[in-house]
Amino acid sequence: MRELDIFDTTLRDGEQSAGINLNTAEKIEIARQLERFGATIIEAGFPAASTGDFEAVQRIAGTVKNSIVTGLARSVKSDIDRAWEALKGAEQPHIHIFLATSPIHMEHKLLKTPEQVVEIAVDSVKYARQFFPLVQWSAEDASRSDPEFLAYIIQKVIQAGATTINLPDTVGYATPSEYGAMFRYMKENVQGIEKVKLSAHCHDDLGMATANTLAAIENGADQIEGTINGIGERAGNVALEEIVVALHIRKQLYGINTSVNLQEIKRTSQLVSQLTGSFIQSNKAIVGKNAFAHESGIHQDGMLKNPLTYEIITPALIGDASTELVLGKHSGRHAFKDRAIKMGFELSDEKLNKAFAEFKKLADSKKEIVQDDLFILLTDQQIND
């Protein structure tokens, strides 16, 4: 079995979502839960960004002991110094330095030549290594960078002392085959790549973050980065819960272990949603309200006969209460009877049929049938003997 590191950036890239702003106490609460969740690395913030971020990173570095704590820094000494101040109390100080490598970013944002970018990257990694035993270097916009240039700069930063190389799909532009190929290319063309960890970081602008992350894993990534519930810039980052559950459910295919405790997924997801105020869409994979809800009669009938017919993941796996058979206009008599019995009604077949017919009429006129509707309907049949 291969081991995969899980790098959580809920508190950094996740907090960069429009409208999200966590205070230090909230960040500490989330970081503690991420530790229970089993993240290998927690990116606690961007120490040079604000006094609040600095304080949160420092407090988390002093609190969290079972996950490595890191902070983001631009490739400038002042950011690295600030990160060191915030992280020097951590068990294993780790810094995450980034610099853009795509032509569009180098020319129009950094206003630097590729040669200057290489020099800045090398200098910043060398500088950071004076303090930090663990230095992650990210090639921002890697997926839109020239592969040969990317291989060259990666080789240089490895020589300068980087311990992890991250290849972000910063704008969620890559397709799974392209993203996977980039990992394969770096493995085959960068001298010294075997000495470092290779990391994937995917954004979901085209809805491909999960597929892209799995493609990176298939092509040798040692670490994946993402957030809880997929929060993050624009359309968000890859949702970590989707990756770790996919790896678990398809263990024979991937042959991968992570340190994540799947039982903590639901709790972590709810805490992040509550503290960030970001709503989870009801059909969101793994953690959405409807992820384990079945409404159609055919599905409900199958579920009652054998849950494996329509359920590849059990709610129990992620620490959730239980599967829900939602009663609505698509539901069948079998699920209706099952619910009536669970509610304590024992009706003759004739009464049950009448109640079911009433239920179907009601379901046609209402968006959702709640427990009280069923109670009234079943009681009516029981009384009208």
140 interacts with Zn ion by CB under 5 A? no
Start-to-end CA distance of the chain, whole Å, equals 63
Which residue stretch of 13-21, 89-97, 150-158, 269-277 sits at the interface with Zn ion (rule: CB under 5 A)?
13-21
The verdict on whether residue 294 carries a ligand-binding annotation is no
Integer angstrom CA distances of residue 199 from 22, 92, 182:
26, 18, 12
Question: What residues contact 346, with CB distance under 8 A and at least 6 apart?
Answer: none
Rounded to an integer, what is the distance from CA 326 to the centroid of its chain? 27
Instruction: Check if the beta carbon of residue 11 is closer than 8 Å to that of residue 24.
Output: no
Residues 197 and 167: their CA atoms lie apart, in Å, by: 11
Question: What residues contact 37, with CB distance under 8 A and at least 6 apart?
Answer: 8, 228, 260, 261, 264, 265, 268
CB of 221 to ligand KIV, least distance (A): 14
For 287-320, b where at least 16 C-beta lie within 10 A, e where not — what string? Answer: beeebbbbbbbebbbbbbeeeeebeebebebbbb
Closer residue to ligand KIV in complex, CB, 7/84: 7
Provide the token pair at 32: 């503690």
H or E segment to which residue 214 belongs: helix 209-218
The verdict on whether residue 237 carries a ligand-binding annotation is yes
5 interacts with ligand KIV by CB under 6 A? no
Return the residues of window 92-121 that contact ligand KIV according to CB under 6 A.
98
Pick from 10, 101, 124, 138 the residue near ligand KIV by CB under 6 A.
Answer: 138
CB of 206 to Zn ion, least distance (A): 15
Binding residues with Zn ion: total (CB under 5 A): 1
Residue 212 binds: one of ligand KIV, Zn ion, none (C-beta under 5 to 8 A by kind): none
136 interacts with ligand KIV by CB under 6 A? no
13 interacts with ligand KIV by CB under 6 A? yes
Provide the token pair at 267: 């709790």
CB of 9 to ligand KIV, least distance (A): 7
DSSP 280: P
The verdict on whether residue 201 carries a ligand-binding annotation is yes
Provide the token pair at 383: 């009384």
300 interacts with ligand KIV by CB under 6 A? no
Residue 138 binds: one of ligand KIV, Zn ion, none (C-beta under 5 to 8 A by kind): ligand KIV
Which residue stretch of 5-13, 24-32, 76-84, 285-293 sits at the interface with Zn ion (rule: CB under 5 A)?
5-13
H or E segment to which residue 240 belongs: helix 240-249
Provide the token pair at 346: 């024992």
Return the residues of window 183-222 that contact ligand KIV according to CB under 6 A.
201, 203
Closer residue to ligand KIV in complex, CB, 168/332: 168
53 interacts with ligand KIV by CB under 6 A? no
141 interacts with Zn ion by CB under 5 A? no
H or E segment to which residue 55 belongs: helix 51-63
* Residue ranges binding Zn ion (CB under 5 A): 13
Task: Extract the annotated binding site for Mn(2+).
Answer: 13, 201, 203, 237
Contacts with ligand KIV, residue ranges (CB under 6 A): 13, 98, 138, 140, 166, 168, 170, 201, 203
